[in-house]
Amino acid sequence: MSLLTVGSVAFDAIETPFGKTDKIIGGAGTYIALSSSYFTNDQKIVSVVGEDFPNETLEDLKARGIDIDGIQIKEGEKTFFWSGKYHNDMNSRDTLVTELNVLGDFDPIIPESYQGVDYLMLGNLAPSVQRQVIERLNERPKLIAMDTMNFWMDIAWDDLMQTIKMVDVLIINDEEARQLSKEYSLVKAAKVIMDMGPKYLIIKKGEHGALLFNTNGNVFFAPALPLEEVFDPTGAGDTFAGGFVGYLAKTDDISFDNMKRAVVTGSAMASFCVEKFGTERLQNLSQGEIYNRIMEFVDLAQFDIKKELV
Ligand code: AMP
């Protein structure tokens, strides 16, 4: 099934306790598209870059089967730039620089050939832009998933509420869920957030896994893989989202049971992402590596227990 990803294609500069990078390729849209390209070869992306963005990177996305007709290249303008520094625990980070550049007045133009897409993944962007994309599609996709962040809760609350109402799955982290719901308990937070519109909610808890909720009261928990070394968590959330929605597009099944598999697939893809700086680890994965990693998740959480021994 076809998948449309909307998100930033960017330059990042990252500092972790393990090292520092100059400007490297990043952006939520890049991470999502790379991750989901392992599951669907019918993927399209809508984004914007400046004339400083390397053509080889765009060609590389194309070579992975991603339709890049929806990436606008703005002559005389600069690509979005983000820089962040991780604390020693690697769970928290400070944003050092956000230069919106071409994202500042991003008008998400949907090429005609993108109409009729089956799945839509809205990466973290201004909620008004995310909504514009939904409104510009002639037909509602089978499933719309959306990511957002605290920043938009602080500066664009009303817009965010309008957009959240229109999506099926919201994918956020625990801190964002607490801010959005004003509840500390994630179970209470999930109820409050699903009352805002989405039928499904995924709360990512970094190295502590991810929770999936639906409005029927079902809950699923996927652990994160205990990794010896985490080099760079940048893009892990987007890579998770790409694996999740890519798996759904591949299997074309949006039952709760299949979403559980999609959450584990997203977690497996995120576990690769953090092993190297930037998008490096996502460049050359094999299907065998992905399958083996997913099986590690299955083994991690599986156990038997005999009734008479309880
Ligand atoms: P994550 O680590 O999942 O939060 O995603 C990090 C990626 O998001 C980086 O590659 C950034 O380029 C991108 N990013 C950071 N802030 C923004 C923003 N305000 N709008 C769009 N993309 C962003």
Ligand 1 atom 19, closest CA: 125
Residues constituting the chain = 310
**What is the C-alpha separation between 140 and 50, in angstroms, rounded?**
30
Spatial contact of 199 and 214, defined as CB atoms under 8 Å apart: yes
Average pLDDT taken over every residue of the chain: 96
| CB distance 124 to ligand 1 below 6 Å | yes
**Per-residue pLDDT tens over the stretch 238-255:** 999 999 999 999 999 999
Q: What percent of the chain has pLDDT over 90?
A: 92
Helix (H, G, I), strand (E, B) or coil at 184: coil
Angle of helix 236-251 relative to helix 28-36, nearest 10 degrees? 40
Res. 233 pLDDT band, cuts 50 70 90: very high
Q: Where are the domains of the chain?
A: 3-302
The pLDDT score that the predictor gives to residue 228 is 83
Burial 156-191 (b: 16+ CB within 10 A, else e): beebbeebbebbbbbbbbbbbbbbbbebeebeebbe
| CB distance 141 to ligand 1 below 6 Å | no
Spatial contact of 186 and 176, defined as CB atoms under 8 Å apart: no
Q: Which CATH number fits domain 3-302: 3.40.1190.20, 3.10.310.70, 3.90.1300.10, 2.60.120.10?
A: 3.40.1190.20
| CB distance 237 to ligand 1 below 6 Å | yes
Tell me the pTM: 0.96
**What is the C-alpha separation between 290 and 294, in angstroms, rounded?**
6
Among candidate residues 45, 249, 258, the one with its CA nearest the CA of residue 144: 249
| CB distance 36 to ligand 1 below 6 Å | no
Burial (CB < 10 A; 0-12, 13-18, 19+), residue 45, is buried
**Per-residue pLDDT tens over the stretch 102-158:** 999 999 999 999 999 999 999 999 999 999 999 999 999 999 999 999 999 999 999
